[in-house]
Amino acid sequence: MDISPRATRLSRSTKKTEEEFSHKAPNQRKGEYHWFHTGDIGLVTLDGRLKLIDRKKNLVKLKGGEYIAVEAMEAVYGTSIYVDAKTGGIMCHGDGDMDKPVAMFQGNIHNIKAWATDNGITEEDPVALCADERVVKMVLADMLKIGKGSDSVAKNELLCAIAIIPGTGSAVFPGDCTSPWTPENGFLTASNKIDRNAIKHGKSQGDQTSASFLEVLQPLRVKSGAPVGSQV
């Protein structure tokens, strides 16, 4: 029996509603959605107010229905000597159109240049070096080695593609797709955590919107099985 795309979307929508809304107590009957699971961790203060203090593990569902924990992945892959935490670190990404996760990260240019020199690559320009297929292949292999050697990374959390950001662009708003990630250009929060939405879609400030890294992310998504032109 053929199932229409609309019916499939409705089925997924219903399932998502049931996952994110609770019908458990104090909702006594199924179909009563009084409580919404935001994924935040809260603390009730002494004066009875709710204070948000943290986020639960950030889980993302891939095309095959498997979940990946992107924040836990970032903690592991971020230990690579080719990732520069000082300029923003790493952002792992997956979504429902993708078969496997991918990652964008700020490259540690010093270590990348050292490897390139040792392997007969004379390129000095950071932008060209980070785009060099030999460099990308080497760094991906390094990350896969790290992932396979970690108890915290599941098989479905092994990266299938990466993009290395050279960090040569502006560190202040609005930045560009070669920029480091900083609070000043909006790609990091004030507490120096990556702002996923800003990195993917830009961030509004007054009548301006910052650059986005969507043009970097989209080719990685396609490599992971996402349809060309699909939306993040």
Would you state the pLDDT for residue 44?
82
Would you state the pLDDT for residue 10?
45
Residue 9 binned pLDDT confidence (cut-offs 50, 70, 90): very low
Number of domains in the chain: 1
Query: Taking each helix axis from N to C terminus, what angle separates 70-77 and 133-148, rounded to the nearest 10 degrees?
Result: 110
Q: What is the CATH number of the domain that holds 68?
A: 3.30.300.30
In a domain? residue 21: no
In a domain? residue 186: yes
Residue 101 in tokens: 């996760």
The model carries a pTM of 0.77
Residue 231 in tokens: 């939306």
In a domain? residue 22: no
Would you state the pLDDT for residue 4?
53
Q: Give the tens place of pLDDT for each residue, 106-155.
A: 999 999 999 999 999 999 999 999 999 999 999 999 999 999 999 999 99
Q: Give the tens place of pLDDT for each residue, 64-96.
A: 999 999 999 999 999 999 999 999 999 999 999
In a domain? residue 179: yes
In a domain? residue 115: yes
d(CA 86, CA 183): 12
> Residue 103's closest CA among 66, 133, 128, 136?
136
Give the residue, 116 or 49, on which the prediction is more confident: 116
* Residue 102: how many other CB atoms lie within 10 Å: 24
Residue 66 in tokens: 């498997």
Would you state the pLDDT for residue 1?
46
**Mean per-residue pLDDT for 25-39?**
59
**Mean per-residue pLDDT for 37-47?**
74
Question: pLDDT at residue 41 above 60?
Answer: yes
| Residue % of the chain over a pLDDT of 70 | 80
Candidate from 53-57, 140-144, 146-150, 171-175 with smallest mean pLDDT: 53-57
Would you state the pLDDT for residue 50?
83
Tell me which residue range forms the domain holding 219.
Answer: 57-223
In a domain? residue 106: yes
CA-CA-CA-CA torsion for 168, 172, 176, 181, nearest 10 degrees? 70
In a domain? residue 49: no
In a domain? residue 85: yes
